Chains A and B, each alone.
Chain A
Amino acid sequence: MNQLTGLLFNDPLPARINEGLLFSAFFLHLVFVLAMIGTALISLTYFILKRTGMPKASRDFHSDVMRPFIVLEAFAVVLGVAPLLLIQVGFTVSFFTAVIFLGRYWVSVILLIIVALVLLDLYENRIEHSPAGSRGALVLGVLGVFSLLAIPGVFVAAIVVAENPQQWAAVATLGGRVPGELAWLWLARYLHVIGAAVFVGAGFQYLRASDPDHKQRMLMLMIGSALYQGVIGMVLLTVLPRGVSWMTVALLGIAVLAVVIGTFALALSVGAGKPLASTAIAAIVFAILLPMLLTRQSIQDRGFRPVRETSRKAAVEYARDLQPYAEPALAAYQARLQMPLPDGAARYASSCQFCHGPAADGRGKASADLAIPPESIRDVRTTRAHLNALVMSGTVNTAMSNFRFYTPAQRDQIFDFLDWQYHVFSPPEPITQAISADARTQGTALWANTCSNCHGEDGRGSKFGLALAPPPPDFSQYSIRPAAMVGVIKDGYAGTAMAAYPDIPEEVRWGLAEMILARRVSQP
């Protein structure tokens, strides 16, 4: 197991400080997220009630409610950055593993956030300027809220997966889908988050409201959402992991107590018809939210901390394994940095030599691994245009790749080098061997009956030949040194359709070489 390597193993902060910061930053982030979602839900509900002609919602609450949305969204986004940073460095393995498993959903969150925020900002703008509201505003609001509600779904899923490392193998085997057990946990927690959003959103709107009617309705909404949270909380208890610590139980007890007392206080004030002081509402919201989140945190730590410890231990060992390679790796990097801009020789050495060899004779270190041996470039006589075409396309069914990653100028550097060193663009060397008339006649017959089947009468390759992989070379543009040609005729070219013809007499082979050279059209 080598999940933490190198830098991933350096902790910029002590673990406890990171955890404390993470909790605080997440708390802040969550308050704004919940208030934002709650606000959008409340505004849209008012708006729909207004449009359906419910008499109670005749005032422009939907617009009033929505006005601070841009502040809430701004802080929800901005304050989300810190928890992201802290969880990535604090619980690296848990975080990355979970979000990668849910990768498709995770990256789609960006689009969802942008769509939701832009739509809801446009919705706010519409209802601000025409309070009566239009169908367009309704569409914007509904689509916006719909996208907004999808966002916590993804985050809750990521947290649920991250907190349950015992299920990771199952998630991986399912190819990123969440097994049934986690899916139920996800659903319950998601519904819990939405309930919390309504509760916090209503509390926030209560603080802002001046109209007593509106205030009263926000109180009712808080009570309603608190009761809903109680029901979902029961469901959550049944899907929680077994064997939680006493700490968790105690925190949960406090949280439940806070809910009961808080709801009771809210109900009393509604019954008495007297609005509660703003500080009291804020206190109730925070008194409930804080122990709830601490409970959540202590359950999360159960899943996060052991993973951190085991991966750290493994990392120490792995770092030791890698130590011997550190020095040479740095030395190689330094050499690379100090390399001057490569010239043709340097480019040949890095890109061609491992196959074609340091002497360009086709005997590179990798040539033994290839069924079709690399060409001996030093024997080649061709034109720049032809060589360029060859290098640009590569040769089918051989290791000769296309070198389209070199610019024309860079390829020219290599060609210049090959010409300077091996004269590849010089005219073919003439044949000095004496060839009798009889051998020439035999050669002509052989060419017509055998060679031309693949090479074509004119040496450019027959239709059949060009369909071969690799196809024969184009003798009108290209040849190799006569002695090499005679060698290929005798021994064939391994791995290709070019068979060996050891029975052809030596002199006739030279005759054939002469015929091939005669087919050369283009001269350098």
Chain B
Amino acid sequence: MGFPTFNMPFIGNPLLIAIDAVLHVLLSHGIAIGGGAVIVLSELLGQRYHSPEWERFGRRMIKPTTIMIVAVGAPTGVGIWFITSVIAPRAIGSLLRLFFWPWFIEWLVFTLEVMLLLIYYFTWDRWTGAKKRKHVALGMTWVGASMLTAALITGILGFMLTSDGWPWYQRFAQAFFNPSYVPQLVLRLGEAIFLGCIYAVLWLMFSKQSRQFRQQALRVFGRVALGALVVVVVAGLWYLRSIPPVFKDTMLASTGIPWVVQNPRALLLIDAALAAVVMAFVVFSLLPFSRIRKTVAIGASMAAILFVAQFEFLRESMRKPYVMPGYMYANQVLVREQPHFVKAGLLDHSYWYNYEAAGMPPGKYLFLQNCSRCHAIGGFNDIRARVAGRPSDGIYVILGNMDSMVPFMPPFSGTDRERRILADYLYQLTKANAASQGGGR
């Protein structure tokens, strides 16, 4: 198509974006919003109860938190952009134009957020006494700005699954305020506060505190965490309701992880166990007589990280075969463009084909354009494992009926001849394995 192709060495394209995005979600939710909220809460409690311990607790957290937000959180966020620019330029380019203004405003708010954070950080020791109230208010404004950036970006994420009437009417409001927007935003904010509580409790556990303060602070963060957890569960169910059934049907399958598809009950059990760890963490924090163990706190943070990763993974998988439902398939082909490619050919309409394909079989080029956004050759979602054991004519037939056979895959883009070329290429790719692959009858 219009842009050159990129293939991430070693880990493949899909895993590259997944790693960066999950890291960013953990930091932007858990540290920037959640961490910010618990720091400001600590300062507020310090001021209200004239407690130097609360004050010191917040003060200790602010510098590392600032570094994490600025040096890791922000670059991973921009990183999502960097990575999608090379692996899915058409998708990110289209989303950028459709949501130009939210993105532009998000940049302004983000700049404001960082300015407030820096002022908050540098004035902590200076705005004391009567000015302390002002400092707390400044902190709240900072956290508010962080939440606002989430509110601006979630509209775009929601659109990528529930594009509502946009494919027909192209109205911005429909695209941004789509059916899964509000539930997802509430879910994310609840998630952020919960992660923030875990962050605070880990600080509490691994820093020097008096026993009395630790007990008192645990109860506070335990209560906030419980509230956040309720929000997460309710908003999660609400979010599920907002998704069309056809996407939910392939929720597990579209992950591309066979174990998950074949063992939904085991997955449920694992999630239940993780949920139990999270609940244990909340309950232990709330019980007056129970001293929370460090292992429970660490366990809960691991469980929370796994939940976050799982949610983002499922959300990103579920939207398949689309990246912009009703408009663009996950492989960057426009829904209206696919029949055109079937007629006119993909290679002839790939601007860079003649240059890039020097020394590259055309089948590989067709693979890169049609499949490489989700499949890698080797690594995660290995295409060789998917077509192993199939003869060339079988692959050809499967390619021609892909969107029907596997409902979360886009249709093949290209002429009949190109379909044959890709089938032969994939067959050659797997021929070596085919014999050793024990098959059924």
A residues contacting B by CB (< 8 A) are 1-8, 10-13, 70-71, 73-75, 77-82, 84-85, 88-89, 92-93, 95-97, 99-101, 103-104, 106-107, 109-110, 113-114, 117-118, 121, 125, 168-169, 172-173, 175, 321-322, 325-326, 328-330, 332-333, 336-337, 339-342, 350-351, 354-355, 366, 369-372, 389-390, 392-402, 404-409, 461, 469-474, 478
Contact = CB atoms under 8 A, between A and B. Distances in A.
Interface stretch (B68-76, B192-200, B210-218): B68-76
A107 B16 contact: yes
Contacts of B387: 401
B66 interface: yes
B205 interface: no
B177 interface: no
Interface string B369-411: 0000000000000000001011101111110110011111000
B20 A341 contact: no
A6 B82 contact: no
Given A173-B355, A396-B439, A471-B439, A405 B406 contact: yes
Contacts of A172: 4, 352, 355-356
23 contacts: A1-B351, A11-B97, A73-B71, A74-B117, A78-B111, A104-B8, A118-B67, A172-B355, A175-B356, A325-B336, A329-B339, A330-B167, A333-B167, A340-B245, A341-B246, A341-B249, A366-B397, A389-B440, A393-B440, A395-B439, A397-B389, A398-B391, A405-B250
Contacts of B117: 74
Interface in B59-85: 63, 66-67, 70-72, 74-76, 78-79, 81-83, 85
B101 interface: yes
Given A8-B90, A103-B6, A89 B439 contact: no
B420 to A, nearest CB: 10
Nearest to B253: A405
Contacts of A339: 245-246
B52 interface: no
Interface of B: 1-6, 8-9, 16, 20, 63, 66-67, 70-72, 74-76, 78-79, 81-83, 85-86, 89-90, 92-94, 96-98, 100-101, 103-104, 107, 110-111, 114, 117-118, 167-168, 244-246, 248-250, 252-253, 258, 261-262, 264, 325-328, 334-340, 344, 349, 351-352, 355-356, 358-359, 387, 389-391, 393-398, 400-401, 404-408, 434-435, 437-441
Contacts of B390: 394, 397-399, 401
B90 A396 contact: no
Given A114-B75, A354-B405, A371-B391, A70 B440 contact: no
Given A77-B70, A114-B72, A401 B97 contact: no
B101 A12 contact: yes
B78 A101 contact: no
B78 A84 contact: yes
Give chain B's interface secondary structure class: helix
B360 to A, nearest CB: 9
A354 B90 CA distance: 32
Contacts of A95: 85
B246 A322 contact: no
Contact of B440 (A11, A79, A325, A394): A394
A89 B67 contact: no
Nearest to A95: B85
A406 B261 CA distance: 7
A419 B179 CA distance: 39
A104 B111 contact: no
Nearest to A332: B335
Nearest to A8: B93
Nearest 8 Cβ contacts at the A-B interface: A399-B394, A396-B439, A3-B2, A393-B440, A172-B355, A117-B71, A110-B79, A12-B100
A18 B12 CA distance: 34
A346 to B, nearest CB: 10
